[in-house]
Chain A
């Protein structure tokens, strides 16, 4: 047995698998692949990986089943779910199940490497959990939302995201009046390693306000845990079920 692979990717699209292998090689990651869930789970059972990338829709099984299997087996490596845009709701559900993050197809090199590096850093650093707050709900360990008494929602990044994202150069904020979806892109971060990180919105709604201070001083995000976007939620009652305390 040679040197173990760093990452396992399970996807039935060969082109996605091959592209991922090439992209990961840019950062020196070694990637093993499986074209269906059955092979993938066999590999997970017999070999050690430090990260799993899996498609949500596999020919023989869903990504959920892979996640459930790993939980049952006690394999605690971070999982990144590859999804299509059509399956935003599924991605949000998977976040609740405890995956590290998801990445919608089609992705760019900078996006894939961004999320992979964040997941990689989880293993290196000991990341403290966010303190519990009664008005705050979390989208996995990714983003949070505070709901005001007047129905407005403030969105921020969770500790796991803030601590793993690296040095932020620039944050792309949504325009006022723009509509965002739950599990859709809310903010985009550019880090000094040229990679991109997307913060998914915990709720759907219309953007009312953005945090100008953070816009001007992106580095403050890391320690201050500020709100980033103010939202007028459009479907809060239904969507809040997918969030955790």
Chain B
């Protein structure tokens, strides 16, 4: 299939319409111009014929043929006048500027006679346009012929020179032929001008259109195509720089937003995949590792039992047993993490979950002298979630906050819940902040990874990974902000009505 650029398509389309318009317009103008000029000429021809009639009237009445001849000759010699002649009723040419024609007969079917003699009974009255005719002369140029009937009048039949019968209405015809050569030349010139004008306009319109289309469509589309290729090649950080405020600008913006979302989605899929494959791997490894671990643990503890009288070996064996048990606990934690418990979702009020979690950990909070500030909005809508898993989330976060506050005396845990609208979706937002030891940028980037812990041997490194997994399962989001020495804030977003999050 022939590939046609949009610009060419538009130019061909617009060019076609423009040329049709120009052609029709020029045709109409030329035609009316032509008609105007011809009718002007007709009028002046008629006036001329009237002038001849009146100037020869006297000579006719006095039958001064010499004078009539002279007058007709003189007029016939003027530029633009081909012929002046008078023929009588039977068609004999009485006078003519062309001497050779005199006394010859005119065929009644000739173009000069035809108008009146077409019917059986010849017409006697004619309007001005009917008196004229346009025909092509022998010299190749067009000519305008005007006939002017010479009517009978009392002076004609009362004169004693030559008797015209009284009942004869038309005595003869004055016929003038004017050349249209000049007019035709003018019309041809105008036509040429129109064609040149048309070509110039068409070319101009095409060039301007081409530039416009290229600027407004071609270049942005090219950028979009290039950006698509860059993104397809894996560089998702590419941004399109189109600032125009038209549809293509909107498209570019939508494109940029799409790539941003793509990066986020990719990150999430990556994180999910990582956790899922880690779970499978953990289960497999743990199962395989259990048998050799059993060997080490049993043999070493067996040796330990028998070495009670050898304190120098006992201490070393103690270390082996202790460290093997640590291995066992790691494997156990890994398996607990890998074991997926299906969510049992129901409508619940997040404030109740928070209060319940705080109740459960009351002793621990008292022990750490942590003051709890609750700012729970009573109007938060219900969310659809697994109550136990939600409690697990809050318990984990609260225990972490308590650990971060540690021995500090003025520890404060602030929990705030509120309804929020983001991208036309309803969310419940929970902020959980402590004024504990906080975390560095580097630590923040790892806290949701399994087995990452800041608590040394006290933590399993699975708490936040579990929280992340639960939030993910509920279509929610968890974000964390922290400054070393200042404290940490976890922000949780739950979609209301269990809608899929679009953040």
Question: CB distance B286 to A206 under 8 Å?
Answer: no
Please give the distance in Å from B354's CB to the nearest CB on chain A: 14
CB-CB nearest in chain A for B388: A234
Collect the chain B residues with CB atoms within 8 Å of residue A176's CB. Answer: 360-361, 363-364
Does residue B193 face the partner (Cβ distance < 8 Å to A)?
no
Question: CB distance A13 to B291 under 8 Å?
Answer: yes
Segment of A72-80, A105-113, A137-145, A158-166 in the binding face:
A105-113
Does residue B336 face the partner (Cβ distance < 8 Å to A)?
yes
Among B363-404, those with CB < 8 Å from A are 363-364, 386, 388-389, 391-392, 395, 399
Collect the chain A residues with CB atoms within 8 Å of residue B302's CB. Answer: 19, 22-23, 26, 109
Q: How far is the CA of A206 from the CA of B324 in the complex (A)?
A: 27
Q: How far is the CA of A106 from the CA of B295 in the complex (A)?
A: 8
Question: CB distance B290 to A106 under 8 Å?
Answer: yes
Does residue B86 face the partner (Cβ distance < 8 Å to A)?
no
Collect the chain A residues with CB atoms within 8 Å of residue B338's CB. Answer: 86
Question: CB distance B294 to A13 under 8 Å?
Answer: yes
- Cβ contacts B245-274/A at 8 Å (1 or 0 each): 000000000000000000000000000000
Does residue B296 face the partner (Cβ distance < 8 Å to A)?
yes
Does residue B456 face the partner (Cβ distance < 8 Å to A)?
no
Q: How far is the CA of A104 from the CA of B388 in the complex (A)?
A: 26
Collect the chain B residues with CB atoms within 8 Å of residue A32's CB. Answer: none
CB-CB nearest in chain A for B292: A15
Collect the chain B residues with CB atoms within 8 Å of residue A237's CB. Answer: 344
Question: CB distance A177 to B290 under 8 Å?
Answer: no
- Cβ contacts B334-358/A at 8 Å (1 or 0 each): 0110110110100000000000000
Question: CB distance A15 to B344 under 8 Å?
Answer: no
Q: How far is the CA of A13 from the CA of B299 in the complex (A)?
A: 14
Collect the chain B residues with CB atoms within 8 Å of residue A184's CB. Answer: 336
Q: How far is the CA of A68 from the CA of B503 in the complex (A)?
A: 53
Does residue B301 face the partner (Cβ distance < 8 Å to A)?
yes
Supposing A106-B290, A177-B399 touch, asked if A22 and B298 sit within 8 A by C-beta, the answer is yes
Which listed residue, A86, A106, A208, A235, touches B294 by the CB 8 Å rule? A106
Looking at A15, A26, A85, A179, the one whose CB has the most chain B CB atoms below 10 A away is A85
Supposing A15-B292, A176-B360 touch, asked if A108 and B325 sit within 8 A by C-beta, the answer is yes
Which listed residue, A109, A208, A234, touches B305 by the CB 8 Å rule? A109
Please give the distance in Å from B474's CB to the nearest CB on chain A: 15
Collect the chain A residues with CB atoms within 8 Å of residue B147's CB. Answer: none
Please give the distance in Å from A122's CB to the nearest CB on chain B: 24
CB-CB nearest in chain A for B334: A85
Does residue A174 face the partner (Cβ distance < 8 Å to B)?
no
Does residue A96 face the partner (Cβ distance < 8 Å to B)?
no
Question: CB distance B388 to A232 under 8 Å?
Answer: yes
Question: CB distance B388 to A205 under 8 Å?
Answer: yes
Does residue A181 face the partner (Cβ distance < 8 Å to B)?
yes
Collect the chain A residues with CB atoms within 8 Å of residue B297's CB. Answer: 106-108
Question: CB distance B298 to A19 under 8 Å?
Answer: yes
Q: How far is the CA of A205 from the CA of B324 in the complex (A)?
A: 28
Collect the chain A residues with CB atoms within 8 Å of residue B321's CB. Answer: 108
> What is the total number of residues of chain A having a CB less than 8 Å from a CB of chain B?
35
- Cβ contacts A201-245/B at 8 Å (1 or 0 each): 000111010000000000000000000000011110110000000
Which listed residue, A88, A106, A206, touches B388 by the CB 8 Å rule? A206
Does residue B278 face the partner (Cβ distance < 8 Å to A)?
no
Please give the distance in Å from B309's CB to the nearest CB on chain A: 16
Please give the distance in Å from B99's CB to the nearest CB on chain A: 131
Question: CB distance B360 to A86 under 8 Å?
Answer: no
Question: CB distance B298 to A23 under 8 Å?
Answer: yes
Please give the distance in Å from B301's CB to the nearest CB on chain A: 4
Q: How far is the CA of A20 from the CA of B328 in the complex (A)?
A: 18
Q: How far is the CA of A19 from the CA of B361 in the complex (A)?
A: 42
Which listed residue, A86, A205, A206, A208, touches B287 by the CB 8 Å rule? A86
Question: CB distance A235 to B298 under 8 Å?
Answer: no
Does residue B293 face the partner (Cβ distance < 8 Å to A)?
yes
Q: How far is the CA of A110 from the CA of B321 in the complex (A)?
A: 12
Question: CB distance A106 to B298 under 8 Å?
Answer: yes
Question: CB distance B392 to A86 under 8 Å?
Answer: no
Q: How far is the CA of A234 from the CA of B343 in the complex (A)?
A: 9
Question: CB distance A105 to B336 under 8 Å?
Answer: no
Please give the distance in Å from A70's CB to the nearest CB on chain B: 24
Q: How far is the CA of A184 from the CA of B339 in the complex (A)?
A: 12
Question: CB distance A206 to B392 under 8 Å?
Answer: yes
Does residue B332 face the partner (Cβ distance < 8 Å to A)?
yes
Which listed residue, A19, A105, A179, A238, touches B299 by the CB 8 Å rule? A19
Collect the chain B residues with CB atoms within 8 Å of residue A204's CB. Answer: 341
Q: List residues of A whose CB falls within 8 A of some B CB.
A: 13, 15-16, 19-20, 22-23, 26, 84-86, 88, 104-110, 112, 176-177, 179, 181, 184, 204-206, 208, 232-235, 237-238
Q: List 24 A-B contacts (CB under 8 A).
A: A15-B291, A15-B292, A15-B294, A15-B299, A16-B291, A19-B294, A19-B295, A19-B302, A20-B298, A26-B302, A84-B290, A85-B287, A86-B283, A105-B293, A108-B297, A108-B298, A109-B305, A177-B360, A205-B388, A206-B391, A206-B395, A235-B344, A235-B388, A238-B342
- New A-B contacts (8) at CB < 8 Å, excluding given A19-B299, A106-B291: A15-B295, A26-B302, A84-B287, A86-B287, A105-B291, A107-B298, A177-B360, A177-B395
